[in-house]
């Protein structure tokens, strides 16, 4: 795992984080949390404002309903009080009393104008001075005649029949009926006069209701029998008022002069019972008030959209600011293999744990390398000697041989080649040399072996011209050739073929040395491969030496790879970086 420092987190880093972790990304969770918190507050605020104004509207609607209920009561009470005042006037009128006291009349007998005229005048005066009373009748039970402001005569010939039929069926002393007369909505109020007769007053309710024509609510005027006497909806006249109030208010539970109202989600129902038994009811549709909220709702919606955009923008900048520190830490780790982490914190944690593990491994490795270094120093001290002493001694031996042999010999040639190899080995001025020079050094070793073993080895070179000028570690090929000579030769002493291939690979130089010698078993190959990682002390010193030097110079990714098959030979593979 490698670490790199970046100056900050750019937008593409944020997008990359979201693409990597998706909904698990801390950035998205921060962003969503900020948006949700602000939007919840905003929605709650809007709901509270909307609820406040809605309740205010409903309160206004309830107040409106009760005010109009009171107005309805006042308007109709004037009319009913006027009818009641004429009742009091009639019951105390002497002419009316005289008319009521007259019993059965002979056929063809006409009432005295002295009695009829004052009563007719009184009724006409009442009709003419009233804005609502259309006609007044007095029916005598004794003589079965009717006096009227418009007409009169025997009850059997009287044109108005509804009140007469109703009284005949119920014998109520006081009642009111809805009547349709001359295309007008009329309420007929009937009241007994000392059980001697009946006062009938007809009231034009269309004139009474003119003050309510501008409103779109429904109202009902009903009697004690719960019959609707009048309504702005003519279809409801004569119906049962309890049915029209949707069962929310029962007239039997009403108390005189006390307003009762019930508010539902759809409408407001209110009723008032007058002292004389009349019931006034209103049904107001709440939507006519709630609809006033549409303007407020539109304003709130527009503000909500505008605020949502602002919230998204602010959430983006706030989240980016909060996320920057996390993003910078994530950017330090260039390991992209841990993209399956739950989120960025897990990714950071995993990388830190990985660093700790790597540090522990490095510490162990450094301890092992320190041990190997001490061991190498010990071996180096044991083998250290003066190079000049070796050269001088070999020169002296060469002179003695040439003197004794009286000329050049194979022994003399070997000593000269060996001196050259020692000079190359002990020269530490340059450790990286061209391939062609390394091949020249190896040739000296091959010459020594051919003199010694009388051409029992066949060394075949296959070197690409492209790599001859490339630079590799000094004394790489010779130890590997020596390993072939010492361990690969056959017992029958047949010719051993050793091939040396050097060619250009992909960004590297490849070296392959193969033989057709004895080879190794798998167990033996495993032992040799393991010993190559140790400080060379005994056998296979050349392999271990080359392997250790390559790792020290090029890194742990480089070194020797060995392939071998018992009875068929061994192949050693090496590669060198092409940038040295």
Kindly report whether the global pTM for this prediction surpasses the value 0.85.
Answer: no
| Sign of the torsion angle spanned by Cα atoms 424, 429, 431, 436 | negative
DSSP code at position 167: H
pLDDT at 441: 86
**In contact, 423 and 391? CB cutoff 8 Å:** yes
* DSSP annotation of 240: B
Any domain includes 87: no
CA angle 305, 32, 304 (to 5 degrees): 15
Q: Which residues contact 54 (CB under 8 A, 6 or more apart)?
A: 290, 293
Cβ(482)–Cβ(546) below 8 Å: no
Q: For residues 398 and 401, what is the distance between their CA atoms, to the nearest angstrom?
A: 5
Name the token pair of 290.
């709630």
In this structure, is residue 34 part of a structural domain? no
Provide the phi-psi class of 68: left if phi over 0, else alpha when psi is between -120 and 50, else beta. Answer: alpha
Tokens of 515: 């033989």
Number of independent structural domains in the chain: 2
In a domain, 399, yes or no: no
Measured CA angle at 469 (ends 466, 471), to 5 deg: 115
Secondary structure of residue 10 in the 3-state scheme: coil
| Residue 157 included in any domain | yes
Task: Give SS3 for 506.
Answer: coil
Task: Examine the fold and report which residue of 249, 272, 289 is the final residue of a domain before the chain moves on.
Answer: 289
Give dist(CA 496, CA 453) in Å, integer: 11
Q: Which helix (H) or strand (E) holds 532?
A: none
Domain that holds residue 264: 101-289
44: left (phi over 0), alpha (psi -120 to 50) or beta: alpha
Distance between CA atoms of 376 and 460, rounded to whole angstroms? 34
CB burial of residue 237 (10 Å; 0-12, 13-18, 19+): buried
| Within a domain: 5 | no
- 396, HSE (Cβ side, Cα atoms, 13 Å): 6
Considering 289, 311, 335, which residue would you say is the last residue of a domain? 289
30 phi-psi bin (left φ>0, alpha ψ -120 to 50, beta other): alpha
Within a domain: 195 = yes
The C-alpha angle 167, 169, 173, rounded to 5 degrees, equals: 35
d(CA 74, CA 221): 12
Q: What share of the chain is helix, strand, coil (3-state, %, to 5)?
A: 55, 20, 25
Q: Are 567 and 518 in contact (CB under 8 A)?
A: yes
CA 205 – CA 187 distance, rounded (Å): 7
Residue 223 lies in a domain: yes
Residue 326 lies in a domain: no
Q: What are phi and psi of 120, to 5 degrees?
A: -60, -40
Backbone angles phi, psi at 508, to 5 degrees: -160, 160
CATH of the domain at 502: 3.30.565.10
| 107-114 contact pairs (CB < 8 A, 24+) | 111/143, 111/145
- In this structure, the strands spanning 569-577 and 197-204 are unpaired
User: Which run of H or E residues covers position 503?
Assistant: strand 496-504
Last residue of a domain, one of 234, 265, 289: 289
* Closest C-alpha among 232, 228, 271 to residue 251: 271
**pLDDT in tens for each of the 580 residues of the chain?**
444 444 444 455 566 666 666 666 777 777 788 888 888 888 888 888 878 887 887 788 778 888 888 888 888 888 888 888 888 888 888 888 888 888 776 555 566 677 778 888 888 888 888 888 888 989 888 888 888 877 677 787 776 678 888 888 888 888 888 888 777 788 888 999 988 899 989 888 777 766 665 566 788 888 888 888 888 777 888 888 777 776 666 667 777 777 777 777 777 888 888 887 888 888 887 776 666 767 777 887 888 888 888 888 887 787 777 777 777 777 676 655 455 556 667 777 777 887 888 888 888 877 777 776 666 555 544 444 445 556 666 666 766 666 666 656 667 667 777 777 777 666 656 778 899 988 988 888 888 888 877 778 889 999 999 999 999 888 889 888 888 888 877 777 788 899 999 999 888 999 999 998 888 888 988 888 888 877 655 555 778 888 888 888 888 888 899 999 888 899 999 999 887 6
Can you give the pLDDT at residue 213?
57
pLDDT at 14: 61
Report d(CA 123, CA 143) in Å as an integer. Answer: 19
3-state secondary structure of 131: coil
Assigned token pair, 65: 């309903």
Residue 149: other Cβ atoms inside 10 A: 23
CA distance to 323, 383, 384, 401, 445, per residue, from 416 (Å): 74, 22, 22, 12, 11
Backbone angles phi, psi at 233, to 5 degrees: -110, 100
What is the SS3 assignment for 198? strand
pLDDT at 269: 82
- The angle that helices 477-487 and 541-554 make with each other, rounded to 10 degrees, is 160
């Amino acid at each position: 795992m490698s670490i790199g420092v970046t100056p900050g987190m750019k937008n593409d880093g944020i997008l990359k984080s979201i693409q990597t972790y998706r909904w698990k990304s801390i950035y998205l969770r921060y962003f969503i949390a900020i948006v949700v918190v602000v939007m919840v507050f905003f929605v709650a605020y809007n709901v509270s404002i909307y609820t406040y104004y809605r309740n205010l509207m409903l309160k206004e609607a309830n107040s409106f309903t009760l005010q109009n209920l009171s107005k309805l009561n006042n308007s109709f009470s004037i009319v009913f009080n006027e009818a009641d005042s004429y009742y009091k006037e009639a019951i105390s009128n002497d002419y009316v009393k005289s008319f009521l006291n007259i019993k059965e009349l002979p056929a063809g007998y006409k009432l005295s104008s002295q009695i009829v005229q004052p009563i007719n005048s009184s009724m006409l005066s009442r009709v003419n001075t009233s804005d609502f009373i259309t006609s007044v009748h007095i029916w005598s039970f004794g003589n079965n005649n009717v006096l009227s402001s418009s007409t009169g005569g025997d009850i059997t010939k009287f044109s108005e029949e509804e009140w007469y039929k109703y009284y005949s069926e119920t014998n109520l002393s006081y009642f009111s009926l809805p009547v349709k007369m001359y295309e007008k909505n009329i309420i007929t109020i009937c009241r007994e006069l000392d059980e001697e007769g009946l006062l009938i007053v007809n009231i034009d309710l269309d004139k009474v209701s003119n003050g309510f024509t501008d409103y779109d609510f429904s109202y009902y005027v009903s009697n004690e029998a719960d019959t609707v006497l009048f309504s702005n909806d003519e279809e409801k006249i004569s119906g049962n008022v309890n049915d029209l109030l949707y069962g929310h208010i029962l007239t039997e539970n009403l108390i005189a002069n006390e307003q009762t109202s019930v508010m539902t989600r759809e409408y407001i129902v209110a009723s008032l019972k007058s002292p004389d038994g009349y019931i006034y009811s209103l049904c107001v549709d709440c939507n006519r008030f709630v609809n006033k909220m549409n303007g407020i709702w539109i304003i709130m919606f527009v503000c909500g959209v505008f605020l949502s955009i602002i919230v998204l923008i602010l959430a983006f900048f706030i989240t980016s600011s909060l996320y920057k520190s996390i993003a910078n830490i994530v950017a330090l780790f260039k390991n992209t293999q841990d993209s399956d982490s739950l989120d960025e914190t897990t990714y950071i944690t995993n990388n830190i744990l990985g660093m700790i593990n790597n540090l522990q491994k490095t510490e162990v490795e450094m301890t092992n390398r320190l041990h190997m270094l001490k061991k190498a120093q010990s071996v180096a001290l044991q083998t250290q000697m003066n190079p000049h002493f070796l050269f001088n001694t070999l020169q002296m031996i060469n002179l003695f041989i040439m003197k004794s042999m009286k000329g050049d010999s194979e022994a003399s040639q070997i000593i000269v080649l060996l001196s050259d190899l020692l000079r190359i080995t002990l020269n530490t001025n340059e450790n990286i040399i061209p391939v062609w020079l390394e091949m020249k050094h190896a040739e000296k070793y091959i010459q020594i072996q051919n003199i010694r073993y009388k051409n029992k080895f066949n060394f075949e070179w296959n070197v690409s011209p492209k790599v001859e000028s490339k630079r590799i570690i000094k004394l790489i090929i010779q130890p590997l050739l020596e390993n072939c000579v010492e361990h690969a030769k056959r017992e029958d002493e047949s010719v051993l073929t050793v091939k040396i291939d050097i060619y250009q690979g992909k960004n590297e130089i490849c070296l392959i040395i193969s033989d057709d010698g004895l080879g190794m078993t798998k167990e033996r190959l495993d032992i040799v491969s393991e010993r190559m990682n140790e400080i060379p002390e005994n056998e296979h010193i050349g392999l271990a030496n080359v392997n250790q030097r390559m790792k020290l110079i090029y890194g742990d990714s480089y070194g020797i790879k060995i392939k071998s098959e018992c009875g068929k030979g061994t192949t050693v593979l090496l590669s060198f970086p092409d940038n040295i």
